[in-house]
């Protein structure tokens, strides 16, 4: 059964750090591009970062570039998102997702385009 299981969320003060993990089950993880997205209260989904299969090339949204690092361990079927210098505006439910390719910009914030999607984990950043 396909599953993406996020962990590592929680509450942190502004300026702090968190490392999110997402373990994949039921599909060939190493052949998928992995994504992190988030949804703040009352807002739509926002793409955060992606890491390619094979090359492990990374991309970041402007809102997190320089503060976030995405990585993956294909031997552990796990993708990570480390975030530093957290801000209250980073407060959101964070989701990992998997797709077979790089989604075009016009689809990247639409969860219906992703092949697999996790259940999400809450990150709360207090001032």
Residuewise pLDDT in 10s, the chain (127 residues): 999 999 999 999 999 999 999 999 999 999 999 999 999 999 999 999 999 999 999 999 999 999 999 999 999 999 999 999 999 999 999 999 999 988 988 999 999 999 999 999 999 999 9
| Beta strands 121-126; 10-13: pairing state | parallel
pLDDT digits (tens, 9 = 90+) for 76-102: 999 999 999 999 999 999 999 999 988
Give the other-Cβ count within 10 Å of 82's Cβ.
15
DSSP-based three-state secondary structure for 29: helix
pLDDT at 105: 87
Quickly count helices (H) and strands (E) in the chain: 0, 11
How far, in Å, CA of 95 to CA of 48, rounded?
10
Q: Is 16 exposed, middle or buried (0-12, 13-18, 19+ CB in 10 A)?
A: middle
């Amino acid at each position: 059964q396909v599953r993406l299981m996020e962990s590592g969320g929680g509450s942190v003060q502004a300026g702090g750090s968190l490392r999110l993990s997402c373990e994949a089950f039921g599909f060939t993880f190493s052949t998928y591009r992995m994504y992190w997205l988030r949804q703040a209260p009352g807002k739509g989904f926002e793409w955060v970062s992606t890491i390619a299969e094979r090359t492990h090339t990374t991309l970041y949204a402007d809102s997190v570039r320089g503060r976030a690092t995405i990585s993956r361990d294909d031997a552990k079927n796990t993708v990570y998102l480390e975030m530093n210098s957290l801000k209250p505006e980073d407060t959101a439910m964070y989701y990992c997702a998997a797709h077979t390719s790089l989604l075009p910009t016009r689809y990247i914030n639409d969860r219906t385009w992703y092949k697999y999607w996790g259940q999400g984990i809450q990150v709360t950043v207090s001032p």
